[in-house]
Amino acid sequence: MAAAAAVPSFGELGVREELVDACTKLGWKAPTPIQVEALPLALQGRDLIGLAQTGSGKTAAFALPILQALFQQCHPFFACVLSPTRELAIQISEQFEALGSQIGVRSVAIVGGVSMVDQAVALGKNPHIVVATPGRLLDHLTNTKGFSLRNVKYLVLDEADKILHNDFEKEVDEILKVVPRERKTFLFSATMTNKVAKLQRACLRNPTKVEVSSKYTTALTLKQEYVFVPAKHKDCYFVFLLNEMAGSTAMVFTRTCDSTRRLALILRSLGFGAIPISGQMSQSKRSGALLKFKAGDRNLLICTDVASRGLDIPSVDVVINYDIPTNSKDYIHRVGRTARAGRSGRAISIVTQYDVDLYKRIEDLIGMTLPEFPAKADEVLLLEERVSEAQRLAAMHIREKDASKKSKKRRNGDDDEADDGGYMAGKRKQSKKR
Amino acid sequence: MALKRKRNGTVTAAAAAAAAAGDPSPSTSEELDAATAYSTLIATLKSRGGGQTCGFQTKERDHSSDDVPNADTERNGGLSDKEDTEPDQSDDEFQDDDGDEILEEQVDDENLETSTVDEFKVHLDHKLGEGEIAELDSAKSKLNVENIASGFLNSKWIIDKEKFPKAESKLSHYNVKARLRSQWANVAKRKFGDFQSEHQCQFYSLCNSYYDILHTRKGGKKLSSETMDACLLHIINHVLKTKDLVSKNNDKLHNREPTGVFNSPRDQGFTRPKVLVLLPMRNLALKLVKRLLALAPPTQKATVDFKQRFFDDFGLGEEDKDDKQASKPADFKFIFDGNNDDHFRIGIKFTRKAVKLYSDFLSSDIILASPLGLTTSIQEAKADTSKNIDFLSSIEILVIDFADVILMQNWSHVVSLFDHINKMPSKQHDTDIMRIREWYLDGHARYFRQTIFLSSYPDAAINALFFRQCVNHTGKAKLQCRYDGVLSNIMLQVRQVYEGVQCESITDVDDARFEFFTKQLFPRIKESLQGGTMLFVRSYFDFVRLRNFLKAESASFCLLGEYTKSSDVSRSRTWFFHGQRRIMLYTERAHFYHRYQIRGIRELIFYSLPDHANFYSEMVNMLGGGQNPSCTVIYSKFDKLQLERIVGTQRAQKLLASKETMMFF
């Protein structure tokens, strides 16, 4: 991106005028390296495997060729995009509509957690693009009469390594069976599996591999650090970090759904604007939480790896790994939520004595040793009293909620803290206690 | 058992409704105002809460403990294994349906389509614009194009479109399915071209053009059967056309090349039921189904499944026959003769060669139900997530027959139905999503629903629904009548005093009326030694209010309301006759359901005028005994609709225009 003079414009890459206009409207002046590499090949109609850093414009790299092909031959169910998470699918679908707004491209997001009927209705309206998570797409393929993918011309697997991962194996196999063989296939990700067998399942024909960075790299504008803490005082250090970062917008990654809930409660009672998002929440709450975070109502998003891939939230300037990811590649995706599209960002990993092994693997993968975040133990431990009080309150709250949930399971008793009564509510509760 | 279940419903806001209609000058925009006024009135009533209308209770039937088996649910349960297999078949039926038949039919249809416009296609293939939707939603349609309505004196049909559909007397002009046309020729009496009368012909032409229709003058046997026949012809035609279109497209899909990009024809709704007919009672449903079977093309009804069971359920057993009705008037017998249970719902399905009664709702073409029956299934669906009311999602024709009788039952069931009809379904029902018409997917189904109200008198509650909830893009048609009144039916020489109550807004009218009664009339009644004062009240609210008032005044009175037990009724009547009780309170509903012949009336006071004009003359004719019987009527300008029917349009106008607050007839 530094060598802006040498970068050809979208038009020179062979993109149609209408789409160039759309890009300009979205504020994209020049194509990113992955787009420069991928667009000409894709426009020629080649199968692609695209590999580029997080936040480097991969979505547009496959969306533009598809939209361009749609100009020549417009019919419903033209392309199908698979994404591993619901939020990402919704984001991609929005991007397609934004890029294709001038030509009236209709795109639907088919994701789990929302009404099948509404989605069936959306499918019935003959959309051009279907962006889906594999499970729900398969559900519709089997249960929605009249819906088929037999006219699909383009198949895209975004976050391909995740999609081809064992978790989705069954679904993806079924979907690949019903998509016609005569199609173009794009695989995109920031990390890619090397296992040939897995790639073969995607039935690429004579694919070209487009790699902008050969090694697994993170964005150049990202400042990465770690902080080594005793496991006993992990929460305390975490709060300390947030205090240091006060005023910034951060995403905090944890390993489990339960800890997102617990951390959000602790932070709220300490007066932070935190909101959790995890696979345990209903889709409407997930979307609501994400929306609040995006809009800036809350500045801390506590999430599991469900939000680690693809989400494009420009305002995020800090990523904190509360738990070190077990899969080192996930690290790259997590920290990729910040420092997107040339902006700067910061990533801090909390490493305890038990995580050293995992952490070393990450350093190996990205090929760097990271500097340590300066944290003086005595300063940190000043916070301990308040943190442990908050922990106690959170634990109590969770216990109560779970108990009441069990008793009135019939009523939809999930009016829990995930819904967030605002962090002020938590504060008030605390002061009443004293 | 026959008369067992007459007073099913509750008194909802019928009182308010009736009062709402009055307005000095006769024009449709005024009626719209009446509708507005009606809804504001409802709102105020609600906000007022219980208050003085302490009888504001809903009396629902207890279904579980009812000794009469609930035919639909129970029988359906019994048949479950049979019904369960049906959804699978239904599709196949579409597939092989009309295989040979369609060929002959096609030839015939094509000839027709060249000659006339196919209203079915025009209506359903309409592309609805954004502006059009906004206009329909604003509910500001102006009915201003008139056409003389034959069959009634000085009456006219008015519509909100520029051109009136042409009322051709030959059925061949209407693009009716040939097999249906020939059957009509066999069954129906033909006097006016292919129709029974010019009235029927006009009515049918409006039906066939998919107008929303408000027909408020169909009382009596002849008019009733004429409108019913026309409606049925339209309904069967619609169902057959839908079916033929689907099977034609099935063939097309079957024969096409399997390759290539292909757009499915859009010819279906979310679910199969396309027609909903609301009727107040089983006996009327029986009549309708009999006629439906008579009019259905012979090839279509080689067999009729569950016919006997239907006749058993909807008819009367020998032991149920009672001869109490012998002394009742003819119009009473017409409505109540037979099984007058008001809780039923039944699906009717047309297959290739058979008509199936009691078909599963989702695989039916026509659903026939009472408002109560439908409300029950709506409530069941609310309580139990495994049940749903998706069968209401794709109704294209809604007929509400005998709306006047339904008004006497419980109109709120009908109002609530409008909240549930044409909504998105809660589940997918194995319908090919690519073949669902786009306006269904866009959630615009209600703009394509044709609603037909049939009533024997106009009413503000019906008007309110018609003008607010019916947003058919094709347009609206309404019958506007002038009345001669029923004063000529009064046999006795009775001086009838009309006392006008002054009030400005419809929300005040009840209070003004009550005040007038308590201040002006009641002191006189109290003082007079002579008993035999009959107080006739239209609404149950007023009934309760007066009852409480009389109780507070410790007057000598007895009650004859719709909820009064029959033993109390006969006691009251005796007391009243012998003068042991001086005042009797009587409601219109009680009279509607029982038509008591009350003896011993010396003075008749219409606290409010009845909706049924003939009740006025009947009541006045009951006066007798004693010297100089008198009759006093309290009216306000909001009683225009009732006044018009009783004293005649011309006199009503005079009455309302004049400054005098007291008039004699």
pLDDT single digits (tens) B634-662: 998 888 889 989 998 888 888 888 877 77
Q: In 3D, which of B411, B402, B413, B422 has the Cα closest to residue B470?
A: B422
pLDDT bracket for residue B85 (50, 70, 90): very low
**Which ranges in B454-521 belong to alpha helices (H)?**
460-468, 509-516
How far is it between the farthest Cα atoms of chain B?
A: 95
> How high is the mean pLDDT of chain A?
83
Identify whether B4 is part of a domain: no
What pLDDT score does A405 carry?
Answer: 77
pLDDT bracket for residue A328 (50, 70, 90): confident
- The C-alpha atoms of residue B52 and residue B511 are separated, in whole angstroms, by 11
Identify whether B366 is part of a domain: yes
Buried b (16+ CB within 10 A) or exposed e, A208-234: eebebbeebbbbebbebebbbbeeebb
Q: Identify the burial level of A258 via C-beta atoms within 10 angstroms of its C-beta, where 0-12 means exposed, 13-18 middle and 19 or more buried.
A: middle
Contact B424 A121 (CB under 8 A): yes
Asked if B231 and B207 sit in the same domain, the reply is: yes
- Shortest CB distance from A146 goes to which of B426, B435, B438? B435
Q: Is the predicted pLDDT of residue B449 greater than 90, yes or no?
A: yes
Q: Is the predicted pLDDT of residue B63 greater than 50, yes or no?
A: no
- Give the mutation candidate from B92, B246, B261, B390 for the A interface (greatest A CB count, under 10 A): B261
Asked if B542 and B404 sit in the same domain, the reply is: no
A120 chain-B contacts, CB cut-off 8 A: 428, 433
**In this structure, what DSSP letter does residue B349 have?**
E
What pLDDT score does A27 carry?
Answer: 82
Q: Is the predicted pLDDT of residue B212 greater than 90, yes or no?
A: yes
Contact B433 A143 (CB under 8 A): no
A116 chain-B contacts, CB cut-off 8 A: 427-428
What pLDDT score does A183 carry?
Answer: 87
Contact B438 A116 (CB under 8 A): no
Return the SS3 of B3: coil
Residues near B399 by beta carbon (within 8 Å), at least 6 away in sequence: B231, B235, B275, B276, B277, B278, B451, B452, B454
> How high is the mean pLDDT of chain B?
79
Q: Identify the burial level of A294 via C-beta atoms within 10 angstroms of its C-beta, where 0-12 means exposed, 13-18 middle and 19 or more buried.
A: middle
What pLDDT score does B3 carry?
Answer: 40
Q: Which amino acid is residue B145, in one-letter code?
A: V
Give phi and psi for B260, each to the nearest 5. Answer: 85, 160
Out of A136-150, A324-338, B35-49, least confident range: B35-49
Q: Which amino acid is residue B320, in one-letter code?
A: D
Asked if B442 and B558 sit in the same domain, the reply is: no
A123 chain-B contacts, CB cut-off 8 A: 433
Q: Is the predicted pLDDT of residue B105 greater than 90, yes or no?
A: no
Identify whether B51 is part of a domain: no
Contact A124 B427 (CB under 8 A): no
Return the SS3 of B157: strand
**A127 to chain B: nearest residue by CA?**
B434
| Element spanning A288, H or E | helix A283-295
Q: B470 or B43: whose pLDDT is higher?
A: B470
Identify whether B404 is part of a domain: yes
Q: Is the predicted pLDDT of residue B34 greater than 70, yes or no?
A: no
Contact A143 B428 (CB under 8 A): yes
Q: Is the predicted pLDDT of residue B403 greater than 90, yes or no?
A: yes
Identify whether B264 is part of a domain: no
B266 chain-A contacts, CB cut-off 8 A: none
Q: Is the predicted pLDDT of residue B235 greater than 90, yes or no?
A: yes
Terminal CA-CA length for chain B? 43
User: What average pLDDT does range A357-385 have in this prediction?
Assistant: 86
CA torsion sign for B308, B313, B314, B320 is positive
What pLDDT score does B345 carry?
Answer: 93
Distance from CA of B439 to the nearest CA of A (A): 10
Distance from CA of B26 to the nearest CA of A (A): 46
Residue B294 region by backbone torsions, left for phi larger than 0, else alpha for psi between -120 and 50, else beta: alpha
Q: In 3D, which of B399, B506, B396, B479 has the Cα closest to residue B440?
A: B396
Tokens of B132: 């059009």
Contact A126 B261 (CB under 8 A): no
Distance from CA of A398 to the nearest CA of B (A): 30
Distance from CA of A75 to the nearest CA of B (A): 7
Return the SS3 of A159: coil
CA torsion sign for B403, B409, B415, B417 is negative
- β-pair partners for B583: B533, B557
A70 chain-B contacts, CB cut-off 8 A: none
Q: In 3D, which of B612, B657, B658, B661 has the Cα closest to residue B633?
A: B661
Q: Which domain holds residue B464?
A: 71-254+272-316+325-479
**Which ranges in B256-370 belong to alpha helices (H)?**
282-295, 307-314, 330-336
User: What average pLDDT does range B119-135 have in this prediction?
Assistant: 86
User: What average pLDDT does range A395-423 have in this prediction?
Assistant: 63
Identify whether B391 is part of a domain: yes
- The C-alpha atoms of residue A190 and residue A54 are separated, in whole angstroms, by 6
Identify whether B29 is part of a domain: no
Could you tell me the CA-to-CA distances from A248 to A267, A316, B214 in Å, in that order?
15, 8, 65
| Element spanning A48, H or E | strand A48-51
What pLDDT score does B277 carry?
Answer: 95
List domains and CATH numbers for chain A: 4-211 (3.40.50.300), 222-433 (3.40.50.300)
Distance from CA of A125 to the nearest CA of B (A): 7
Domain count, chain B: 2
Return the SS3 of B631: strand
Contact A116 B428 (CB under 8 A): yes
Out of A33-42, B137-146, B459-468, least confident range: B137-146
Contact B434 A116 (CB under 8 A): no
| Element spanning B43, H or E | helix B28-48
- Shortest CB distance from A124 goes to which of B425, B430, B436? B436
pLDDT single digits (tens) A264-322: 999 998 888 899 998 888 888 888 998 899 888 888 999 998 888 878 888 888 999 99
**B91 to chain A: nearest residue by CA?**
A145
| Element spanning B454, H or E | strand B450-454
**B440 to chain A: nearest residue by CA?**
A121
Last residue of a domain, one of B459, B479, B499: B479
- The C-alpha atoms of residue A196 and residue A192 are separated, in whole angstroms, by 11
Contact B424 A145 (CB under 8 A): no
Last residue of a domain, one of B439, B462, B479: B479
Residues near B293 by beta carbon (within 8 Å), at least 6 away in sequence: B301, B304, B307, B355
Asked if B544 and B559 sit in the same domain, the reply is: yes
- Shortest CB distance from A120 goes to which of B261, B433, B435? B433
Asked if B446 and B506 sit in the same domain, the reply is: no
Contact A76 B263 (CB under 8 A): yes
pLDDT single digits (tens) B313-338: 888 765 555 666 677 888 888 888 88
**A180 to chain B: nearest residue by CA?**
B259
- The C-alpha atoms of residue A291 and residue A1 are separated, in whole angstroms, by 30
pLDDT bracket for residue B1 (50, 70, 90): very low
Out of A238-242, B74-78, B376-380, B476-480, least confident range: B74-78
* A to B CB pairs, distance under 8 Å: 43
Q: In 3D, which of B13, B12, B14, B8 has the Cα closest to residue B60?
A: B8
A76 chain-B contacts, CB cut-off 8 A: 261, 263
- CA B399 to chain CA mean position, Å: 8
pLDDT bracket for residue A381 (50, 70, 90): confident
Q: Is the predicted pLDDT of residue A363 greater than 70, yes or no?
A: yes
| CATH (domain of B232) | 3.40.50.300
- The C-alpha atoms of residue B402 and residue B278 are separated, in whole angstroms, by 8
Q: Is the predicted pLDDT of residue A414 greater than 90, yes or no?
A: no
Contact A145 B431 (CB under 8 A): yes
pLDDT bracket for residue B392 (50, 70, 90): very high
Contact B434 A124 (CB under 8 A): yes
- Between CA B660 and CA B665, with CA B662 as vertex, the angle to 5 degrees is 115
Could you tell me the CA-to-CA distances from A4 to A32, A238, B187, B273, B348 in Å, in that order?
10, 40, 86, 64, 72
Q: Is the predicted pLDDT of residue B289 greater than 90, yes or no?
A: yes
Asked if B411 and B493 sit in the same domain, the reply is: no
pLDDT bracket for residue B257 (50, 70, 90): low
- Shortest CB distance from A75 goes to which of B261, B432, B441? B261
Asked if B430 and B512 sit in the same domain, the reply is: no
Last residue of a domain, one of B420, B455, B479: B479
Give phi and psi for A318, each to the nearest 5. Answer: -135, 140
Asked if B128 and B220 sit in the same domain, the reply is: yes
Residue/partner pairs of B219-228 with CB below 8 Å, 24 or more apart: B219/B331, B219/B404, B219/B456, B219/B457, B220/B331, B220/B334, B220/B456, B221/B334, B223/B151, B223/B199, B224/B334, B225/B291, B226/B196, B226/B197, B226/B199, B226/B200, B227/B200, B227/B203, B227/B454, B228/B287, B228/B288, B228/B291, B228/B401
- Shortest CB distance from B434 goes to which of A75, A143, A146? A146
Identify whether B38 is part of a domain: no
Asked if B445 and B551 sit in the same domain, the reply is: no
Q: In 3D, which of A178, A72, A190, A182 has the Cα closest to residue A130?
A: A178
What pLDDT score does A199 carry?
Answer: 67
Asked if B241 and B101 sit in the same domain, the reply is: yes
Are the beta carbons of B70 and B62 closer than 8 angstroms? Answer: no
**B264 to chain A: nearest residue by CA?**
A146
**A126 to chain B: nearest residue by CA?**
B434
Asked if B185 and B243 sit in the same domain, the reply is: yes
Asked if B237 and B291 sit in the same domain, the reply is: yes
Q: In 3D, which of B121, B132, B119 has the Cα closest to residue B166?
A: B119
Q: Is the predicted pLDDT of residue B70 greater than 60, yes or no?
A: no
pLDDT single digits (tens) B542-580: 999 999 999 998 888 899 888 888 888 989 999 888 888
